[in-house]
Chain A
Amino acid sequence: DQQVKQNSPSLSVQEGRISILNCDYTNSMFDYFLWYKKYPAEGPTFLISISSIKDKNEDGRFTVFLNKSAKHLSLHIVPSQPGDSAVYFCAACDSWGKLQFGAGTQVVVTP
């Protein structure tokens, strides 16, 4: 039973607009959340993270929001660029270091 869920398998967005990716989790023991980006035939690469004691973390065009009461986090990409086209994975980690991922969302940025 996957404890990290990304319910949107794909997202299409115009270049320059905002991309919003969503993620839900079920395990209240998760205390650290991360987003990864993956291109075909490569390993995932780290994008941005947030601790459970925070509700927002920003890094350039990327912002992650955490709503603990709803067990929900989101990633905002503003503005979206063609190079952002990739699969994005949400991940969550508990205090024992167990790191679990969602199913991913394929983002396509169109001109």
Chain B
Amino acid sequence: DAGITQSPRHKVTETGTPVTLRCHQTENHRYMYWYRQDPGHGLRLIHYSYGVKDTDKGEVSDGYSVSRSKTEDFLLTLESATSSQTSVYFCAISDRGRVEAFFGQGTRLTVV
């Protein structure tokens, strides 16, 4: 299995609080992605990174920010959590961005 770890695996938070999810990889892959999975919508890209400090927006980036200060870590921050951000969040990594990406186990986030 690819060395990719998401933390926390489960989190319950209150509306309006900031939340940070962490994705850590040991594969030295260049590309890292954050997705959310919701019924009827599949996997939607939030943000992705193509190198340290190089990030770009995906389809559903509003309300989310990311940071990548080193190759192995990609952080996703919900600046002020809302109930619509209740979802399962997946991180993925890829070596060349145009080949298969490996996924983490997911983080189930509930905003109450």
Contacts and interface: CB of A to CB of B under 8 A. Distances in A.
| B interface residue count range (under 10 / 10 to 19 / 20 to 34 / 35 or more) | 20 to 34
A97 B44 contact: no
Interface in A16-73: 31-32, 34, 41-46, 49
Q: Is the interface of A mostly helix, strand, loop or mixed?
A: loop
Contacts of A89: 42-43
Contacts, number: 73
Interface string B34-53: 01000011111100101000
Given A42-B105, A43-B104, A43-B106, A100 B45 contact: yes
B50 A96 contact: yes
B91 to A, nearest CB: 9
Given A43-B90, A45-B103, A93-B97, A98 B43 contact: no
Interface string B83-112: 000000010101011111111111000000
B56 interface: yes
Contacts of A100: 45, 58-59
Contacts of B40: 9, 103
Nearest to A102: B42
A101 B102 CA distance: 14
A36 B61 CA distance: 23
Given A96-B56, A99-B48, A100-B59, 15 more contacts: A41-B106, A42-B105, A43-B106, A44-B43, A45-B103, A46-B101, A46-B102, A49-B99, A49-B100, A89-B43, A96-B97, A97-B97, A99-B92, A99-B94, A101-B45
17 contacts: A2-B41, A6-B42, A34-B101, A42-B105, A44-B43, A46-B102, A91-B43, A93-B97, A97-B98, A98-B45, A98-B97, A100-B58, A101-B42, A101-B44, A101-B45, A103-B42, A104-B42
Interface of A: 1-2, 6, 9, 31-32, 34, 41-46, 49, 89, 91, 93, 95-104
